[in-house]
Amino acid sequence: MYDLKPFLEYVKEVNPGEEKFHQAVKEVFGDIIPYIKDKPEYENAAILERLSEPDRMIRFRVTWQDDDKNIHVNRAWRVQFNNSIGPYKGGLRFHPTVNEDVLKFLGFEQIFKNALTNLPIGGAKGGSDFDPKGKSDDEIFRFCKNLMMELHRYIGDDTDIPAGDIGVGKREISYLFGQYKKLTNRFTGTITGKDIDFGGSLIRTEATGYGLIYFVSNMLEEKNEVLKGKKVLISGSGNVAIYACEKAIELGAKVITLSDSDGMIYDKEGVDEEKLAFVKELKEVRRGRIREYAEEFDCEYREGENPWSVKCDIALPCATENEISDEDAQKLLDNGVKLVAEGANMPCMDKASQLFRKSDIQYAPGKASNAGGVAVSGLEIAQNKIRLQWTAERVDDKLREIMKDIHDQCKNYGTNGEDSIDYVKGANIAGFEKVANAMLAFGPI
């Protein structure tokens, strides 16, 4: 019979040193193993061993030239983790911390997240250790072009469909898509997150952040509560953070923090529409630092700090993995946080996540609460296949519907006792069931 401890020993032995990947496997299989205790068919088919081994990992060199004609070499990867329920799907990340460990944890999480959307998409992730910070548009173009020279062989609209993630936004997706189109001489939906003028979906830019807030509203509804009037901490100031902030403000919440890797702003008055427009211009156009917000609007800036020591009702980590330590989690709980929902992937360290699960607060894992981005990517694939563009209203309605459905799957599989929902357990089991049952149906391949 599967047992978590020896299974994790096995995962560590075959994936040495990959601590984030171990953390993600532990978090998922910690719920799956008790669930399949009386279902020997999964162990007989070695489902957990197969699920924790990527189908395929591609690693390649990207050579590029900077504006001073110096030549640089970076590594890039695509981890095609599991395509049991649809073509591989997941973002590309450009960040100096990217390595096989990071991409395996992200690709593994993506399998279950994508299954929760109920769309036909498998799990993948990719990216490079290239650092886009401080690079000119020309340098970004040359890097993206050369990356795609290699990547195009392994992707396709029915094979593997990349999208954005940290460091990969509209600009990078445009360069990547343009080059893919040129190399293949085919206009297909092989990349999502495209501009609306060339095959993108309305609401994709907003989808992860909006989806997160729809999910939070569903959670609050369980407690007969609403977002209006709640004090909200958001970390990060990138794609997910900006649009989570936008929707939260629209629904009457008071967002009092934002951050980047240098520090955080604490705006006691709350971010309003005008201030958010400044952040969009700062981050999406000028690519500046969040410190400038404090200078512009005369509020507090704390260099080198994250938002988690500020008193709040709701905390939404939207920057990166392991950004909430156990000390941060304890501080949030001591300060009376009522709800934590993850916009980023695995933003809570293992112990922080355990602290939230043991407490009586509501706590949603990223694979459920940030699935809105990939869900609208799935809708973009559908629109590309039929060569139509749906209205923003239609996509937004569908996004709300998908987030509600994910919420209800978490509730169905995660209800503990009468009124307490373990969203982590619910998301893990609901995502696992679909993928594992498809794998069983295919036989041992």
90 binds, among ligand NDP, ligand 2IT, none (CB under 5 to 8 A by kind): ligand 2IT
261 binds, among ligand 2IT, ligand NDP, none (CB under 5 to 8 A by kind): ligand NDP
For position 123 contacting ligand 2IT by CB under 6 A, the verdict is no
For position 374 contacting ligand 2IT by CB under 6 A, the verdict is yes
For position 163 contacting ligand 2IT by CB under 6 A, the verdict is yes
Residue selected from 192, 237, 306, 353 as contacting ligand 2IT according to rule CB under 6 A: 192
Return the number of the residue (203 or 421) whose C-beta is nearest ligand NDP. 203
For position 373 contacting ligand 2IT by CB under 6 A, the verdict is yes
For position 89 contacting ligand 2IT by CB under 6 A, the verdict is yes
Measure the CA–CA gap between 196 and 432, rounded to whole angstroms: 33
To ligand NDP, the closest distance from the beta carbon of 371 in angstroms equals 7
Which residues form the interface with ligand NDP (CB under 6 A)?
Answer: 164-167, 169, 208, 236-241, 260-262, 318-320, 343-345, 370, 373
To ligand NDP, the closest distance from the beta carbon of 4 in angstroms equals 26
Per annotation, catalytic residue among 20, 125, 230, 434: 125
407 binds, among ligand 2IT, ligand NDP, none (CB under 5 to 8 A by kind): none
For position 377 contacting ligand 2IT by CB under 6 A, the verdict is yes
The verdict on whether 331 is a catalytic residue reads no
To ligand NDP, the closest distance from the beta carbon of 373 in angstroms equals 3
Binding site for ligand 2IT (CB under 6 A): 89-91, 113, 163, 165, 192, 345, 373-374, 377
> Which residues are catalytically annotated?
125
